[in-house]
Amino acid sequence: MATLTRIEAEERARLLDVQHYAIDLDVTRGEETFASVTTIRFTARHAGDTFVEVRPTTLHGATLDGRDLDPATLADGRLPLALTAGEHELTVRADMPYSRTGEGMHRFTDPADGLTYLYSMCCMTEGPLVFAAFDQPDLKAVFDVTVTAPEDWTVLGNGVATRVPGEPGRRRCATTPLISTYLMAVVAGPYHSVTTEHAGLPFGIHVRRSLAEHLDKDAEEILDITRRCFDRFHELFDEPYPFDSYDQVFVPEFNPGAMENPGLVTLRDEYIYRSAVTDSQRELRGVVIAHEMAHMWFGDLVTLRWWDDTWLNESFAEYMGYQVLTEATAHRPWTEFCANRKPWGYDADQRPSTHPVAPAPDAVPDTASAWVNFDGISYAKGAAALRQLVTWLGEDTFLAGINEHFARHRFGNATLADFIDSMAHASGRPVPDWADAWLRTSGPDTLTPEVTADDSHWRLRLTHTGGRPHRLRVGAYDADGTPRASHEIELAAEEGTTTHEFPGARPGLLVVNDGDLTYAKVRLDAPSWTAAQASLGALPDALTRTVVWNAARDMVRDGELDPGAYLDAVARHLPDEPATAILESVLAFAHGQIADRYLPPGRRTAALETLSALAHRLLGPDVTDPTRRLIAARVAIGAVTDAGEARSWWEAGTVPGGPALDPELRWQLLHRLAVLGATDGSEIGAEAERDPTAIGEEGAARCRAALPDAEAKRVAWEAMFDPADRLSNYLFRATAEGFWHPEQSGMLAPYVARYFPAATELADRRGHALATVAARFAFPRGFIDENTLRLGEEALRDRAPIPALRRGLDDQLDDLRRALRVRERWS
């Protein structure tokens, strides 16, 4: 498939004005392909040559203004067109392939009941796997979509779908307003639905039938959040919701968290919980609902012109998702944002692959390079930058700028310059200067405090590296964690050291960026870290505690704090930590990074024993909160090193003091038993029969790959990388998650050198989505050594991996270098 370049897109946009797509899909033709007929009406502003994208299994024919085109001219997914000036009509008739990787039209057969489900995923370049298209975001058009499907199936589209009289199984979706090709969407299958009406519009939530009881259990919670967020957006925005319905479909094997198709949001069906979950998991589902609804304005009503402005979609939706959920419900998700999302942004921003929130146009020359920018920078850092912009401008002024932006560009396309102009006009402030500092630069700022004091005042010398302007809060606390004072300060857009003087005695603990208002790495001075070790858990505000935990995390990652000291703080303060998001994020870092990567192998067992002891404290008789007990059970299972102890939990059906093992916990414990060599293929098979679902299928794949057996490893490796095998992304991920374990390093060592050529060949065959999964989950992360680093660097230099894999390997190798530095510093 040819990659669309920015230059090609600009040339085509100058040539074409696209008015209308009529798309006719027939999904009754079998398991491998479906029929697609596309008719496009458009105008050529002058005579010229261009192309339409279509990636069929068979191109049956194409006509331009009634004249047949030669199907043999289709090459690399492009059908060439020679145009005269004026109006044209192009019709393309093709058979299209069903996908097993979540791109184009994904087809999934549920192992629980044998029922089949379809959904489209056209972002960013996959629309031509469904219909013929001038596939770039700034050639918006009106869409009329018709689908022929089995009579008993549900069919959903961007507009309300109705049955065509006299034509069984045929549905016609209502005509859309102007939307981009990557936002066209269709869902079809025997979905279970819960529907209602709100504000005069039909609302629906849908899921495959095997998850019906779980959707029904949570339906009112999901719909209540949806209604509340919908109403809050209408209080904030002058522009009303621009589409005719609002459906949310929880679909299987979905690659992203969700997709903002106008009127038809698709979300991964892991958000329909069949096992116990924590309150922060439910809160995160609410954030995703609000995030995708924000896209109806940020992305769908006003769309980026080219993919260098991904942040215009994602940063805004990320910020509004957290803020609107906070304002519209009882959830308080900014703690989760600080605990989980911002570290994702900070980590991405410190790697060689970092980029500005709004990269320069020449940094995104084509769609292949654009794929890699859907990352922690475009989401978390961009949202944090917007939060700082709101702090600087004030919320009312910020919203005035947003509403002006919508009014200027409704149903059109916009750029960074357009957004800045609207904000500057609404505020009268130098927003271009702010944008240059915040959106056109990369890397996080760092704020390092030094405190001195006399009898009546204390002075803060704050060293600022990075050079962005900041408005932030400095929190002063006594050594026991009692709040003393809060001071707001502003830092100019320059590096250097500033001095700030405040009345009173020196604080025992100083928290820079208290309340997490800005985006910057912060340090704790030595007295503050000493105080935090004693009083961190006593700090009254969850955001304050999160900022301190993040500072300690960054100090570990940068080699400034012994990982063992971080573990000591975990053991001391987490048993009494009430915020679920803090518990989960700190424990994930303690296990996944400190125990598995930063500590040398000889100290790993002791670290796991520390986490195990903490888990059992959280499972004590005084702990009644089910969320804390669930978190503790997960940690206990992940940290257990005694196979006999783990086997006793399996036979008892519970971790002592914990909840009964539901399906999720059973698969987690069986996986740990497999890693420890305390189960076998027959027991895994029996559990798969007990849980004949897609999650069970993935759990069995994960467990089989985890067995410390040479044959099991060979089979798992071939399932992932043999060209004849076509694992779905989800089964590939599950197998990869089971494959690599520090406990099995001797057996796995020969596979390290095999990974790099195998991943490169896989990415070349199966594309960016699976390449991303292979880089993230199949990389030999447990091998913290110079040999792995050398092999990876040679692969990047000599094997020319596609951009998605190159970015993933770049990131993994940078994390490996960091782990090596930490080990060298503290060994």
Residues with a catalytic annotation lie at 292
Q: Quote the Cα angle for 359-296-215, to 5°.
A: 115
* 279 CB-contact burial (10 Å; exposed 0-12 / middle 13-18 / buried 19+): middle
Assess contact for 464 and 490: CB atoms under 8 A.
no
Question: Is the bond preceding 124 in cis, omega lying within 30 degrees of 0?
Answer: yes
Q: Which residues contact 287 (CB under 8 A, 6 or more apart)?
A: 321, 322, 325, 331, 333, 336
Hey, CA dihedral for 566, 572, 573, 574, is it positive or negative? Answer: positive
Burial class (CB in 10 A: 0-12, 13-18, 19+), 114: exposed
Burial of 72 (0-12, 13-18, 19+ CB in 10 A): exposed
User: Tokens 């805004």 — which residue?
Assistant: 316
Of the candidates 383, 725, 788, the residue with the CA atom closest to the CA atom of residue 597: 788
**163 beta partners:** 171
Instruction: Name the token pair of 537.
Output: 């858990």
In the numeric block, which tokens belong to residue 209? 């039938």
Q: Radius of gyration over alpha carbons of the chain, in Å?
A: 27
- Closest by CA to 445, choosing from 353, 510, 350, 375, is 350
Mutual angle of helices 601-618 and 563-573, in 10-degree steps: 10
DSSP class of 141: B
Asked if residue 61 lies in contact with residue 68, where contact means CB atoms within 8 angstroms, the answer is yes
Taking alpha carbons only, the member of 434, 464, 436, 461 closest to residue 449 is 461
Q: Which residues contact 125 (CB under 8 A, 6 or more apart)?
A: 1, 4, 135, 182, 367, 371
Instruction: For residue 817, list its beta bridge partners.
Output: none
Q: Are 739 and 671 in contact (CB under 8 A)?
A: no
Based on the number of CB atoms within 10 Å of its own CB, is 662 exposed (0-12), middle (13-18) or buried (19 or more)?
Answer: middle
Amino acid present at 771:
A
Cα separation, 569 vs 578, in Å, equals: 16
Pairing of strands 246-251, 264-268: parallel
Count of CB atoms within 10 A of residue 606's CB?
12
